[in-house]
Structure 1
Amino acid sequence: MRFVRYGEAGHERPAVLDAEGQLRDLSGVVPDLAGPVMADLPRINPQSLPLVPGTPRIGPPVGQVGKLVCIGLNYSDHAAELGVEPPEDPVVFLKATSAINGPHDPVILPRGSQKGDWEVELGIVIGRRAKYVTEAQALRHVAGYTIVNDVSEREFQLERSGQWTKGKSCDTFAPMGPWLVTPDTAGDVQALDLSVDVNGERMQSGNSGRMIFSVARIVSYLSELMMLEPGDVIATGTPPGVGMGHTPQRFLKDGDEMVLRISGLGEQRSPVRAER
């Protein structure tokens, strides 16, 4: 199934897509796609639900996200483009949940930004609490998958002292969605094509089969470090083609448009704006 949240930012309602791609309101079944609901997503015939009229805003497909955990340098070909050795252990960092944005909302470059960058990533949404789970058990704790754009400001991230958080957590820097796709619908998540186009030009492309650490390995590994709760989101790393990996380097500017796609998980279309 493909779940969606729609409506004004901060007041989204749950929905599901029917076979024709139409939104069906789910608010009579669950209050939101958040928290404990993620452990037992409703299995329901979309045709039995009311149609959502018009073309409302699509919000992030998960509400009240407790943690947004990211994995760095998780594609062998991305590590190669940056000239670094593939990590022996997953590189883990946190991105502020206040950065979460709708999949088609504007991405705002903060004041002083010169090196805004894109990163298409497969997002894991946790369904059931996970603590010390094995790789064999890990996927039982996954509610579904979505697209995450780990937008980065490289000067903030790499040229200022301290941790990557500075360049990762700016407001709007985590567009998420459009859909939450359940595992039975998503298929083999280690065989998904990922891409980014900027202003119609293909910048980034790859396949999740090139992950150094698989989805199951990531969930298991993180569960050894922290309790993973229903509704937590994990961004699993990005393939080659990020702006700082291009020669010459390419960075985002006011007026750009990013289009992100992952096979079976839909499309994001985010305009880029400079903060005024």
Structure 2
Amino acid sequence: MSSASAFSRLVRFVPKSNTTKVLIGQPTQQELDIGAAVRKGQEVAAHVFSGSSVLAPGQNTGATETIERILSPLAQNEVGTIRCIGLNYKQHAAEVKMDMPTIPTVFMKPSTTLADPWPAQTILPKLTQADDCGDYESELAIVIGQTAKNVSEADAMNYVLGYTAANDISSRTSQLNQSQWSFSKGFDGACPIGPTLVSTSIVPDPCKLRIRGLKNGNVDMIFSVPKLVSFLSQGTTLPAGTVIITGTPAGVGLGRKPKETLREGDEFAVEILPHIGTLVNVFKNEV
């Protein structure tokens, strides 16, 4: 049942040699943070794979291409509905003054929220601009590699293809005014992911990854990756390509004093190290 493939890190990208193409490849420099490097204008090369999707990447063709633009690891038509976990970090629950859940809190984002890293523009909706309530959340994302249903925690990791970074962009006024969170977190482009998809083979324990949000820590998950995959698959089919975002650590704008919000021109980076790298988003107002 293993979804393991012959890769350690994959990037979906547009090559400089032909900007009409979309390729799958593996960065030539194994430990390079490609999101940060591309943002700085550095040249980043990747070994090109024969497949057209991270779900079926194929094999290394021997060709090498220079990255012009990083794309989200999955296309919108590959992810279905994005499953999201709220309040999955002890310190975040404390900063927003909410009780820790005893079972995972689940909400969903539509596939239209999926978005690319910089240089794609990350849009702040008019509704969010109206009362300056845009917020960021730095999250570890799980990508399911094969169809999962009624999976046990013991078997759950056999269904995980790998990990990437996500920014769960939120409109806090709408979130706090409603009992359900899907509307306030479901705007177009409100779930950028990337820059790489990292295989479970090089991340045996995702709780040892370090997550930081950087605007202009150690992971302290309440519910583990196997617990989340198992829980979400009970009575529900998780097709290959399903993205699960696992909740934000402490440090969101809502919890800061004074409160911080996202505005046009702001740059926010989700850094998950080692291996995954930095997801960079630069914000622009919807007009």
User: What is the distance in 1 between the residues matched to 2:218 and 2:83?
Assistant: 21
1:203 aligns with none
Correspondences of 1:188-199 after superposition (within 5 Å): 188-199=205-216
Correspondences of 1:215-234 after superposition (within 5 Å): 215-234=225-244
1:52 aligns with 65
Aligned residue identity for 1:230:
A
Comparing both structures, which one devotes a greater share of its residues to strand? Answer: 2
Q: CA deviation at 1:225?
A: 4.0
2:186 aligns with 169
Correspondences of 1:17-36 after superposition (within 5 Å): 17-19=27-29, 22-26=45-49, 29-34=50-55
Correspondences of 1:132-151 after superposition (within 5 Å): 132-151=150-169
| SS at structure 2 position matched to 1:158 | helix
Which moved further from structure 2: 221-230 or 15-24? 15-24
Correspondences of 1:8-157 after superposition (within 5 Å): 12-19=22-29, 22-26=45-49, 29-34=50-55, 37=56, 41-42=57-58, 44=59, 46=60, 48-53=61-66, 55-63=67-75, 64-104=78-118, 105-113=120-128, 114-157=132-175
Contact 1:147 / 1:178 at 8 angstroms: preserved in 2?
yes
Q: Deviation per CA, 1:47-100: give whole Å up to 9, x if none.
A: x521113x4111111232122100000001110111111001100010111011
User: What is the distance in 2 between the residues matched to 1:188 and 1:5?
Assistant: 24
1:248 aligns with 258
Q: Deviation per CA, 1:156-205: give whole Å up to 9, x if none.
A: 2222x462111111111111000000011223201111011111xxxxxx
- Structural RMSD (CA): 1.9
**What is the percentage of aligned positions where both structures have the same residue?**
37
1:202 aligns with none
Q: Determine whether 1:266 maps to 2:277.
A: yes
Contact 1:5 / 1:13 at 8 angstroms: preserved in 2?
yes
* Cα distance, 1:116–1:126 mapped onto 2, change above 3 Å: same
Where do 5+ consecutive residues of structure 1 fail to align?
200-205
Runs of 4+ more than 4 Å apart:
8-11
Output the TM-score relative to the length of structure 2.
0.84
User: What is the distance in 2 between the residues matched to 1:207 and 1:235?
Assistant: 17
User: What is the distance in 1 between the residues matched to 2:20 and 2:240?
Assistant: 19
